[in-house]
Amino acid sequence: MVEAFGVSDPGCVRTNNEDYFLLSPELGLYLVADGMGGAQAGERASKLAAETVFEVVWKSGELTAQILQTAFEEANRRVMAAASSDSTLEGMGTTLTAVLEVNNEEVLIASVGDSRAYIYENGELLTITEDQTWVNEVGRRLGIDEASLKTHPMRHVLTMAIGVGSPLRMHCYSYKPLNGAEFLLCSDGLHGVVDP
C-alpha cells in the first residue's frame, strides 16, 4: 500500500510560495513543481503544470513513459499559452518532477528543471533525477571545482523548465524499487539547503 504526504513552506525569505504538489494515490501519480516569474506568475505556472499532467494521465488511462512525455509537453504548451495571453505572466515557468506507479514492481520518474526525486532504500538516500541547470550541464563540463560551483553566480540558472520554450527536454527514468522503499520529491527549497 502506498502512503503519500506533502508539505510546502515559503521559508523565512519569501512571503509567497511558488511550489505546488499534487498527490493522487488512486492514480499512482505524485508531482512537485517549483514556479518562477514575477508577482503570482510562479504560483500559477506550478499549479497549471501539475494539474495538466494529472489531467492528461487520468484521461488517457495509460501508465507509460509516452503518456508522461505527452502530459509534460501539454503542460509546457499550456503554461506558454497562459504567459503569452497575459503580460503580467510573461516569463513564468516551472520545474516539474513526477513519479508514476506503473505496477507493483515499477515506477516511472519524469523531470524537467531542478526539482528532484530521491529514493530511500537499504538505508541509503539516492538521487534519481539529474538537474537541468547551468552548474550541472555547463559548469562541471568546464571543470569548475565543486566548491566554486556552490557559490557560482550561475548556480541557480535552469537550462530547461516548463513554459519557457519548445522543444521540451524531459528526463524519464524507470525504476524497480525494493519493497518498503520510500520516494522523496522536492524543490530546490529543500535540496538547496539540505543536500543529502
pLDDT at res. 38: 67
User: Considering the domain boundaries, does residue 150 fall inside one?
Assistant: no
| CATH code of the domain in which 123 resides | 3.60.40.10
User: Considering the domain boundaries, does residue 120 fall inside one?
Assistant: yes
Say how many residues make up the chain: 196
User: Considering the domain boundaries, does residue 69 fall inside one?
Assistant: yes
User: Considering the domain boundaries, does residue 13 fall inside one?
Assistant: no
User: Considering the domain boundaries, does residue 147 fall inside one?
Assistant: no
Residue 191 reports pLDDT greater than 70: no
Q: How many whole angstroms separate alpha carbon 112 and alpha carbon 93?
A: 11
Residue-wise DSSP of 137-182: IIITTTT--HHHHHH-TTTT-BS--BTS-SS---EEEEE-PPTT-E
Whether a cis peptide bond, with omega within 30° of 0, leads into 25 is: no
Report the pLDDT averaged over residues 157-163.
Answer: 93
Q: What is the domain extent for residue 118?
A: 19-129+161-187
Q: How many domains does the chain have?
A: 1
Higher pLDDT residue, 146 or 21? Answer: 21
State CA 124 to chain mean position distance: 22
pLDDT at res. 147: 85
pLDDT at res. 175: 94
User: Considering the domain boundaries, does residue 2 fall inside one?
Assistant: no
